[in-house]
Every structure is written in C-alpha cells, then in structure tokens.
C-alpha cells in the first residue's frame, strides 16, 4: 500500500532545484503538490497588494508546469496547522516535505507542524531551498552570527560553492489526483475596481520561465557593465530578479552556478558577475539577521535608537507615499513604485533616507508602505534594509549620512531621464533646475507651464534645515544612550 508524499510549496514556486519536490520524487511514492494561502503567518505570501498580484500569476504558471509533468497542484486557504494534517489524513500520506522559511512566525509554526506530524507517524522533513547557505552555517570564529556584511560575505565565500542545483523532475505522473482544492480565481488576489496593477504586466513576467529569461538576458547583455550601471535608474543596468527571488521562482544557488559558468565562458564579465553575486550574498546576510534577531521587523537592531524622537506627520507621509514631496528624485521613485511595483535600489535608498531623516518619520511606516506596494516585498530584506538606511540596523550607514535628494539626482540621473519619465509635469525644465525646480526663475517656470504649489508641489522641507534637525535628533539619541 502506497504512502503518498505531500510537497508543501511556499516561497519556492518552481520545479527546478526544488529540494522538497526532488526528495518526494526520489521517495518514489505518489505526490500531492499543495499550496496553502496563509494570511495569518507574518512573512507568508502574499505580504501586500502588489505581491498578491504576483502570487496569482506565479501560482498559475506553477500549476501549468506541474500539469505538464502529469501532476496536480492543489490550492487550499487557511491555517496550515489545520490543513496539512487534514490533507495528510485524507490521502494517508507518509511524508510531508517543504523548503524552509526564515521568518520568526513561520519558524515557530513549522516546528509545531513538524512535531504534530511526527507524532502522527508521518515523516516531516524540511530543506534549504531559499539561500546559498543556511543561517547556522555562516558563523564567526567564536560561533556567533555576523553583524557586519563584509566579513560575513568573506566567510560565506570561504565555504566554497553551494551545492549544484537539482534537476527538475521529468514526470509527476505517479501523483495523487483525488484531492479537491480552491479555484485560484476565488482567492481574488488580482485588483479589479480599480485595476491599479494594469501596468505591471508590461514590465513583468511572473513564474519560473520569466525568471529564467530575466537571468539569461542579464547575463547576456547587462552584467558586464553591472558594476558601473547598477546605480543609474534610467538605465536597465540591474538584474530585476528580486521579485522572482522573493517568490522562489529561481533559486540562489542556480543563479550562483549559472553566473559563474558565464564568467568562465566570458572572463570580461567576471567583475560584473562578482558584483552581482555580492548582492545575492547581501540577501543571505539579511536572512541571517532576521533568523538571529527575530524581533528585527519591529524593533531597532541598535537599541539606542529606541529613544529617537520620531514625528507623526500624516500629511507629509501621504505626500511621500504619493510622490508629491517637491523633490523630483524622491517623487520619481515613489511614482515608479506605485506604477510598476518596483523601485530602483539606488532610489530606494534616497526615498527611505528622505522619509526617516528629512521628515523624521519612523522607518517602520516606510517599511509597511513598501511591504504593501513592492512586488519583491520580503520581510528579511525589507526590514533590514530600512534599518540600514535609518542608521539603526546592522552594519548600518552612519546616521549622519543623510542623502541629499538634489545631489543624488544630479549624480545618478545627470541627464534627468529618470525624473522626466516619472515626473512629466516638470520635464521641460533644463537640467540645471530639474532636481530643484523651486530655484528656477519665474519666467522659466511660466514658459514650462509650472506653477509651484499647483502643478508641482513646493518642497515639504528645506534640505539644509532638515539635515540640521535630523542631526540634532541624533544628538538626543546619543545623549539618552
């Protein structure tokens, strides 16, 4: 009598290099592929409205891929601690297999599930399907976790290449086909009234095939100049793989091996490839931070910032969210985010710094907005990167490093292509005034059809004044400490 395997898909929506799926195939028993829409566990998918759009399409693509292999993909919604034991009993499962998540609530849930399943006589096994290395594998000489990225990265690289990617199954015909599930459309993951995500499909192709195409295009045409162009938002100079990684449509170790294969074939690309792989290492570092500091999504990594005098300013926060701060580089980024579900990484740093240092608004408010609007929203990356910019995180930028949105625009968007695309109402201004339209002469503003305060807002704050205020707030923190 067979004892089927349940493969519980989570943040690993792919068939290639999927350790849990591979182990189920090796086990040789009928397989049930299962996804549970868990809206209760922090860090579970989806995390926000934009991510829900991606999830819908990613699940649809995965269902098609599993069907082509002869299998069935079952969808259920609810609490996995209720659903998994129930489904296991329904099909007399002998094993439940999954790839690990590293969010605190997910870890606690999975431990309880593993214990409950084991007590019921069901094998429960988890695997690393999301990181180059497990958080407990990269340790200091003293055996503790790293709090600074560079030594972490050196230590991770010193461990050697991660394991080679596992092959996709050639067939899932020996699968369970008798379990009923939810219809994907019934989950209402797609916005309808209004369809604010209508432009997403112009920029993105969710799913494993889309991820692979994105990586191939990057390695073919972009990576050689990646070190030079990765900070230029008007140029397609980055991989744009972050949403695919957030949903596990491509594994980090497959990215690693494919990238190094390309470096061996094309030595001229080696510098760019290692610069790119360092960003994959930064992702691992963020997950290590979350794993070893489970309170980091809500508390300051650096406790002295608990005394920081954050200000509540609903009007300023709303203007920031809508891209109406009066600083064109900030506004361009916030509008790109709303329209595409994405923001260039350099601009993310600029808009985050503006919120926490120019406006003195708590980084947690910005993190929550990003979590709802980013397609690549991820608890580890989002919270640790926000804390890094705010100056209260691990290996953080020093607090006194306050990004000047005017200078950042002039440096990284020197011809104004990015700003003109996303802030068209000031597009006709010459470069000299594009990043600071309030300094343009009145006659030039009239010629451009710009009325500050009407067609484009006045700056929310003066940069020099805001900088002095931010540094004074930081002195309060140091005094309290």
Active site residues: 279, 282, 310, 345, 363, 386
Give the three-class secondary structure for 150: helix
Using an 8 Å Cβ cutoff, are 147 and 136 in contact?
A: no
Residues 18, 23, 29, CA angle at the centre, nearest 5°?
125
Among residues 224, 233, 241, 217, the alpha carbon closest in space to that of 54 is found at 241
Report the C-alpha gap between 280 and 251 in whole angstroms: 10
Using an 8 Å Cβ cutoff, are 127 and 100 in contact?
A: yes
322 to 114, 158, 328: CA distances (angstroms): 44, 44, 12
Report the C-alpha gap between 109 and 395 in whole angstroms: 30
What is the pairing mode between strands 95-99 and 123-127?
parallel
**CA 352 to mean position of chain CA atoms:** 15
Length of the chain: 481
- Residue 76: strand pairing partners: 36
Report the C-alpha gap between 440 and 423 in whole angstroms: 16
Here the tokens at position 439 are 């300094």
Among residues 33, 311, 75, the alpha carbon closest in space to that of 176 is found at 33
3-state helix, strand, coil split of the chain in percent (to 5) is: 55, 5, 40
Sheet architecture: strand order including 31-37: 73-77, 31-37, 5-9, 95-99, 123-127
Maximum Cα–Cα distance across the chain: 85
Report the C-alpha gap between 355 and 344 in whole angstroms: 17
Report the C-alpha gap between 140 and 137 in whole angstroms: 10
Residues 333, 408, 238, CA angle at the centre, nearest 5°?
60
Helix axes 379-390, 270-292, angle to 10 degrees: 90
């Amino acid at each position: 009598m067979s004892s089927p395997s349940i493969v519980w898909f989570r943040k690993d929506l792919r068939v290639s290099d999927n350790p849990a799926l591979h182990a189920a195939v090796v086990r040789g028993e009928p397989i049930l592929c299962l996804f549970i829409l868990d809206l209760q566990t922090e860090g579970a998918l989806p995390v926000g409205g934009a991510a829900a759009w991606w999830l819908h399409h990613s699940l649809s693509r995965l269902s098609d891929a599993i069907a082509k292999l002869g299998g069935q993909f079952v969808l259920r919604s609810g609490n996995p601690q209720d659903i998994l034991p129930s489904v296991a009993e329904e099909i007399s499962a002998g094993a439940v297999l999954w790839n690990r998540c590293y969010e605190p609530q997910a870890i606690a849930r999975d431990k309880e599930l593993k214990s409950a399943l084991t007590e019921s006589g069901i094998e429960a096994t988890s695997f690393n399907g999301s990181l180059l290395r497990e958080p407990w594998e990269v340790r200091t000489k003293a055996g503790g976790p790293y709090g600074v990225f560079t030594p972490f990265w050196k230590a991770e690289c010193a461990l050697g290449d991660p394991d080679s990617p596992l092959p996709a199954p050639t067939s899932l015909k020996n699968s369970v086909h008798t379990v009923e599930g939810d219809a994907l459309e019934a989950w209402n993951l797609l916005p309808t009234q209004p369809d604010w995500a209508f432009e997403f499909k112009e920029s993105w192709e969710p799913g494993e095939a889309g991820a692979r195409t994105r990586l191939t295009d990057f390695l073919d045409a972009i990576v050689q100049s990646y070190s030079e162009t990765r900070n230029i938002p008007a140029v397609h100079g980055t991989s744009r793989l972050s949403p695919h990684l957030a949903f596990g449509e491509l594994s980090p170790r497959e990215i690693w091996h494919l990238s190094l294969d390309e470096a061996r074939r094309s030595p001229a690309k080696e510098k760019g490839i290692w610069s790119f792989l360092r960003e994959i290492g930064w992702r691992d570092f963020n997950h290590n931070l979350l794993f070893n500091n489970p309170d980091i999504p809500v508390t300051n990594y650096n406790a002295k910032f608990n005394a920081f005098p954050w200000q509540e300013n609903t009007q300023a926060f709303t203007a920031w969210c809508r891209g109406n701060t009066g600083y064109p580089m900030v506004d361009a980024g916030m509008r790109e985010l709303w329209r595409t579900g994405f923001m260039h990484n350099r601009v993310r740093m600029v808009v985050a710094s503006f919120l926490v240092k120019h406006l003195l608004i708590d980084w947690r408010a910005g993190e929550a907005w990003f979590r709802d609007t980013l397609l690549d929203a991820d608890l580890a990356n989002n919270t640790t990167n926000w804390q890094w910019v705010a100056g209260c995180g691990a290996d953080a930028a020093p607090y006194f490093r306050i990004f000047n949105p005017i200078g950042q625009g002039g440096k990284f968007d020197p011809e104004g292509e990015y700003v003109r695309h996303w802030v068209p109402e000031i597009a006709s201004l010459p470069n000299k005034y594009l990043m600071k339209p309030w300094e343009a002469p009145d006659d030039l503003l009239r010629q451009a059809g710009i009325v500050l305060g009407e067609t484009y807002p006045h700056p929310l704050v003066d940069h020099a004044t805001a900088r002095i205020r931010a540094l004074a707030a930081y002195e309060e923190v140091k005094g309290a400490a």
